[in-house]
Structure 1
Amino acid sequence: MINSIINNFINDLNNTLLKDHNKLTCRDIRNAYIYLTDNFKEYFGSKSNFSGFTELLLLKIIEGWLLSNSYLKVSSGGTLNGKRTYFDKYGNEKIKTQQSDIKVMNGNTIEYYFSVKAIKIPQKVKVDVGDLNSNIVANYFQGSLYKDIEIPLALQDFNRIENVRHSEHDNFKAVTIFYSKPNGTNIDLLNKIKKDYSWYDYICLNDNNFADRIFINLLKEKLNVYQ
């Protein structure tokens, strides 16, 4: 009986997101996530382990958009090899890999890449070994780079996206989707980055300019796709 209840919930959610992919606004998506996780907290005492729903909602909406496209397929997760390397504590050179959020694939090639940031996000994050030897980070960060220093979230996010944009994936367009608009420092940085890199853009679901826009239309606009 429990399995049947779970299956019905998943099927209903899946079918609704696929069917209404071209009706849901940015506000609808954000509110759906808040409503869902708030109810989990009310009934089960916590919502800390349900952050993956941010990606799930967007994944199914994008899948609905692509149902009529026989060439492009959406997928989530997976590890991608980056173009940058680093040295571990034993002095061994390693390839910097990256866990992906949502990708739209054209065969084995990434056509569109989406990074998803949840409701509660840090405004700064500690650099990792893949950030320290990056020209991207060095060019945009105002200060000295060293282990454990904090850099803006937007900078680390873009650095990781740019790191996997190479080889057969060297021509994808990318959009970072924020469930909550980051602070002014990050927004200023995002605007500088999108100006410098025409293949990159971002969406804040709770931005006053975007909240009532149909999400999939806004996403296509950011990707310069008009079909």
Structure 2
Amino acid sequence: MPLAPGVPSPVPPSRSRRRAPAAKAPAPRAVRPDPAGMARAVRDFLTAAGLDLQDVNLVDTPTRVADVWANGFLDGYGRTPEEALGKTYPAPADSSGELVVVTDLRFHSMCPHHLLPFTGRAHVAYVPGSRVVGFGRIGALVDLFAHRLILQEDLARQVARSLARVLGSPATACILEAEQACLRLRADHQRDAVTHAEAYEGRLRRDGPLRRELWARLGARTGAGR
């Protein structure tokens, strides 16, 4: 039976109800290295390279390589930024806007492009927000991400972002200078090349007085000690 003019048509119940928003999928967790799988892959690689793995000097090489990669070079996959930074403390009430800078943190990492190492120094800075952390823990955060297969640019970015998130910092920075084995060993006449990567979060993303203050400190350090 048709409805009178101006009377809206009824909406079927299945269409009139709003669907509940889908639950967000949990963030993917970093997969820890599989030493047994890595040993098999190393064995295949060495065999393909023409080595005789029955040689008494090479028979244990796949296991040794897998162990040093899983437990040395890639052990950063087994920890979180919160675990690396450890105990944090309430920021002093009068610390707002003041830079905390730690320079010359030595690190080593592995580039995923050629599985070759890069080593260097990290300079990390942050403005205290709600929390602060011990200086030594900042080096632990750098190592957390450095001990993964990661590009130098991503290493800087992950350190700056994690420091901002965990400490509630309004401004963070990570500046890396490194020697890349894939560049120094493969490219002609580039044995002295040094690569640089910078990452900024919050107020330090803008080129202003705070960033200039940071670079003045880094420049003073370079002029005084190098």
Same fold (TM over 0.5): no
**Rg (Cα) greater in structure:** 2
Q: Which category of TM-score, normalised to the shorter sequence, fits these structures? A: under 0.3
Q: Greater relative contact order (Cα 8 A, min sep 6): structure 1 or 2?
A: 1
TM-score (norm 1): 0.26
